Amino acid sequence: MKLLRDILYGVSIKSVFGITDINIKSIQFDSRKILEKDLFVAIRGVDDDGHDFINTAIEKGAIVIVHQQELEKMTEGIAYIKVENSSKALAIMASNYYNHPSNNLQLIGITGTNGKTTVSSLLYNLFISAGYKVGLISTIKIMVDKKMFNTNHTTPDSILINYYLNEMSNLGVEFCFMEVSSHGIDQFRVEGLNFKGGIFTNLSHDHLDYHKTFSAYRDVKKSFFDGLPNTAFAILNVDDKNGHIMGQNTKAKVCTYALKSYADYKIQILENQFKGLLLKINDFEVWTKLIGAFNAYNLAAIFACAHTLGLKSEEILKLISNLDSVNGRFEFFITESNVTVIIDYAHTPDALKNVLETINEIRTKNERFITVIGCGGDRDKTKRSKMGKIASILCSTVIFTSDNPRTEDPELIIADMEKGVDPQNFNKIISITNRKQAIKTACQLACPGDIILVAGKGHESYQEIDGNKINFNDIKVAQECLKELQK
C-alpha cells in the first residue's frame, strides 16, 4: 500500500477531484486486472482507449481514476486525477510506487533498429562472467540476476519495468542492460527512469507502420539520448550517419565506435569465418565465436560499454572471447552430411542484407545458398518488397513463406515480397505458404556443403496466425526435417 499523494509526485496534473490522502493497493492500466483499492490509469492505446473502461474499473474496485480526457460524469467517493498525458503519468507513478528502483543500480539502455538484443544479452553474459549481479530486460527474456522471466515485448510496460528493477534492487543487482524500443520511448514506458548510459547501434527501415516516416522514427530514438542526464554516457555507432544526430543535443558524455570512421573505439576485422571473428579493437586483438561484420559492431559497442563502466581492457577481451551467440541470432549447426543451417531473427531489410552479405563473404561460392524468409502481417508493408529484392539478389535459391501473418492473408504478404524481385531473379524464387513445408523443402534441396538460412523469427517459439499463437520454433523444425530426411 502507498499513499496516493506520494504516487502522484512529479506527475503533470491538470485537476484533482476527491482526496489524495488515501492508500492505494496497486496501479493498473488494464481494467481486467483491477482489484479493491487499486488505481486505474486510462490510457489511449493503438487499438483501445482506457477511458472507455473507467466504469468497469470502478465496478471492480478502483478507488482512483487517472485520466487524460474530460469525463462526462464522476462517481461519488472516487478520486479523479486529470493529467497532461496518461502514459507519461503511468511511468512516473510506477517509479514512485516502487521507490525509484532505477536509482539503485546502473541502468544502461540499448536502442537502434538492429543489434539491441545481441548487445544487451551479451553485456549481461559478460558482466555475469565477471562476477557481478546483473539484470537484463530484452526481447527474449528478463533476467533478475540468474532468475529468468518470459517477456512479450522488447520494452515492457512501465509498471513491469519498475517491478523488475525493484526486484533487481532488492537482490543487490549492480548493472541492468535494457533494450529500449522506439515504441517504448514513444509511449513513455521509460519515462522517469534514471539511465546511467545509452548505446546506439544503428538505424534503418523498420516500424514505419507505426511511426509513418523515417524521420519520425529517427527523432523518437534521438529523444532517448536527448533525455540522458549529464551524469550519463552515450555510446554511438558513427559509421551510421544517424550516430552523430543521436548525440547532437545530449547532455551525456559521448564516446563513439566504428569500423570505417574515426572513433574512440576503432574496430578492424582481421579474419571472418564460420568458426568466428578475429578482431582488433583499438590496439588489442581478440578471437571471438561470433560471426560477421554486424557482430563486429555489436562487440565494439560491448567493449566500449564495459570499458566505460570501469572494466579493464584485458579483462573485457578475455570475457568477449568466451561469449557465445545469442539464441536465434546467427545460431547455426552443421549436419552429418555437411549442410550448414543458420537461424537468424533478421526481419528488416538492413538486418537481412547484413546476414546475407556475411554468409556470402564466408562461403566458397561452390555451394548453394538457400534462404527461407517471410514478412510479418499487420506490420510495415513497405519493407516487404525490399526484403524480397535483397534475398533474391544475394542467394542462390529463396523460398518465400509465412512469418507471423497475424490477421493478414499470408499469400498476399508473399505477393508483396515478390513485387521486389527483378525479372532476372524470378527463377531463384519458390513460394510456399506453409512455413514448415518451406523449411522442409529447403532441407530437401540442400546437398552436402550447402548453406540454409531460415530468417525472420529467430528465438520465437510460436507462429501467430489469425490471433492464435501456434507452437513453432525454426531451429527445432529444421532439425526435425533433416532427421526425417536421413531416415
pLDDT for 234? 98
pLDDT for 227? 97
Residues near 223 by beta carbon (within 8 Å), at least 6 away in sequence: 185
Among 96, 125, 141, the domain-final residue is 96
pLDDT for 139? 87
CA distances to 99, 157, 267, 476 from 106, rounded to whole Å, are 16, 20, 26, 37
Does 155 lie in the same domain as 89?
A: no
- With CA atoms as reference, report the closest residue to 40 among 112, 96, 90, 114: 90
pTM (two decimals): 0.90
Among 321, 349, 383, the domain-final residue is 321
pLDDT for 409? 96
Q: Where are the beta strands (DSSP E) in 247-312?
A: 253-258, 265-273, 276-281, 284-288
Which own/partner pairs from 41-45 qualify as long-range (CB within 8 Å, at least 24 positions apart)? 41/66, 41/86, 41/89, 41/90, 41/93, 42/66, 42/67, 42/68, 42/69, 42/86, 43/68, 43/86, 43/87, 43/90, 44/68, 44/86, 44/87
Q: Which residues of the chain have pLDDT under 50?
A: none
Among 35, 63, 96, the domain-final residue is 96
Please state, in angstroms and rounded to a whole number, the distance separating the CA atoms of residues 75 and 3. Answer: 21
Q: Is 217 helix (H, G, I), strand (E, B) or coil?
A: helix
Does 113 lie in the same domain as 145?
A: yes
List the domain range (segments joined by +) for residue 17.
Answer: 2-96
Bridge partners of 453, per DSSP, are: 342, 371
Q: What digits encode the pLDDT tens for the residues 65-91?
A: 999 999 999 999 999 999 999 999 999
Cell representation of residue 47? 487499438
Does some domain include residue 326? Answer: no
The letter for the amino acid at 431 is S
Does some domain include residue 442? Answer: yes
Bridge partners of 430, per DSSP, are: 399
Does 380 lie in the same domain as 403?
A: yes
Asked if residues 431 and 419 have their Cβ atoms less than 8 Å apart, the reply is no
Q: How many structural domains are present in the chain?
A: 3
Does some domain include residue 80? Answer: yes
Does 314 lie in the same domain as 383?
A: no
**What CATH code is carried by the domain that includes residue 458?**
3.90.190.20
